[in-house]
């Protein structure tokens, strides 16, 4: 996979037909440069081969076989003990450790199910990512990969969102629709960015935000965040164009003065080198 080209294609078309598991593994090479995506894709293929032998063509039964394989036989689980461990966001680590976040476990389920011949899609509910197996007639079985693959009805989905966000949530067809590929990639990277910001790991936060800028080239906030992270990471020269781009794109934003201060700081630091 040509990662920059794939990110550019997703930026242009959120529904671009990328293999999300392969994309996630290539993104993981930012942290693990020696990672061979083919090794992990082969693992997914092996799981899919095992699943394919169990499928019957009955939607609910096939969804049950998928969740049983992953969450009973293989013991994949949500990492509730250390939710903010960055390894939960790297698909190679998820496959090695069998621990992950809702979105990365959904990626595993979708990759295995799709390779076995099912239609398995991620659903980006606010605050909690889930998955669904879709039949030929459009009927769907929703399940929660973070909680042992338990099946979900509409009320369960609404409750998950309300627990995650603390706000009432009204389910709509759009909310229950498959997340576009670009949205899945953005959410995966946003989770990782949040983890690195939480631990003040600004070099990794900047690296992750650079990928988000590739996916969201018109999002001025990402340019601002990248510039600020680069300053904190000791790279003021690289921060300058991103901060300038933000100020040009959002001259009326409430944080213009603050961002302008960061830009002045970056320019002073660059001047000291000359």
Q: What are phi and psi of 120, to 5 degrees?
A: -120, 125
Question: What was the pLDDT predicted at 170?
Answer: 85
pLDDT at 274 over 80: no
In the chain, CATH 3.10.620 sits at: 3-165
Q: How many residues does the chain have?
A: 274
The torsion angle over the Cα atoms of residues 137, 139, 143 and 149, rounded to 10 degrees, is -50
DSSP state of 177: S
* Res. 171 pLDDT band, cuts 50 70 90: confident
| pLDDT band (50, 70, 90) for residue 179 | very high
Pick from 251, 27, 208, 20: nearest CA to 114? 20
> 169 versus 183: which is more confidently predicted?
183
42-95 pLDDT, tens digit each:
999 999 999 999 999 999 999 999 999 999 999 999 999 999 999 999 999 999
Q: Which two tokens stand for residue 95?
A: 């496959």
Q: pLDDT digits over 182-199, tens only?
A: 999 999 999 999 999 999
Q: What is the pLDDT of residues 218-230, one digit of tens each?
A: 999 999 999 999 9
- 3-class secondary-structure state, position 119: strand
3-state secondary structure of 207: helix
- 102-127 per-position pLDDT tens digit: 999 999 999 999 999 999 999 999 99
Is the pLDDT assigned to residue 160 strictly greater than 70? yes
Query: 158, 165 in Cβ contact below 8 A?
Result: no
Alpha carbons within 13 A on the beta-carbon side of 181:
20
Architecture of domain 3-165: Roll (3.10)
User: Distance between alpha carbon 241 and the CA centroid of its chain, in Å?
Assistant: 26
pLDDT band at 273 (very low <50, low <70, confident <90, very high): confident
pLDDT of residue 190: 98
Tens digit of pLDDT for each residue in 232-258?
999 999 999 999 999 999 999 999 999
More confident residue, 9 or 273: 9
């Amino acid at each position: 996979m040509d990662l920059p080209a794939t990110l550019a294609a997703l930026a242009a078309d959120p529904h671009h037909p990328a293999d999300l598991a392969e994309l996630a593994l290539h993104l993981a090479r930012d942290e693990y440069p020696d990672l061979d995506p083919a090794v992990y894709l082969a693992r997914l293929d092996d799981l899919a081969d095992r699943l394919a032998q169990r499928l019957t063509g009955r939607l609910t039964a096939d969804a049950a076989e998928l969740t049983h394989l992953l969450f009973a036989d293989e013991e994949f689980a949500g990492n509730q003990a250390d939710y903010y461990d960055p390894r939960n966001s790297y698909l190679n680590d998820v496959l090695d450790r069998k621990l992950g976040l809702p979105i990365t476990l959904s990626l595993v389920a979708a990759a295995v199910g799709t390779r076995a011949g099912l239609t398995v899609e991620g659903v980006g509910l606010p605050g909690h990512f889930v998955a669904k197996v879709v039949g030929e007639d459009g009927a769907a079985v929703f399940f929660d990969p973070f909680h042992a693959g338990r099946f979900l009805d509409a009320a369960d989905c609404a409750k998950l969102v309300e627990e995650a966000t603390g706000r009432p949530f009204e389910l709509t067809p759009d909310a229950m629709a498959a997340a576009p590929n670009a949205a899945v990639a953005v959410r995966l990277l946003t989770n990782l960015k949040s983890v690195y910001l939480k631990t003040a790991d600004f070099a990794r936060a900047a690296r992750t935000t650079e990928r988000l800028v590739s996916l969201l080239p018109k999002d001025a906030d990402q340019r601002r965040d990248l510039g600020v992270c680069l300053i904190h990471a000791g790279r003021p020269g690289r921060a300058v164009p991103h901060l300038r781009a933000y100020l040009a794109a959002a001259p009326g934003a409430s944080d213009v003065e603050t961002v302008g201060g960061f830009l002045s700081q970056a320019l002073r630091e660059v001047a000291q080198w000359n």
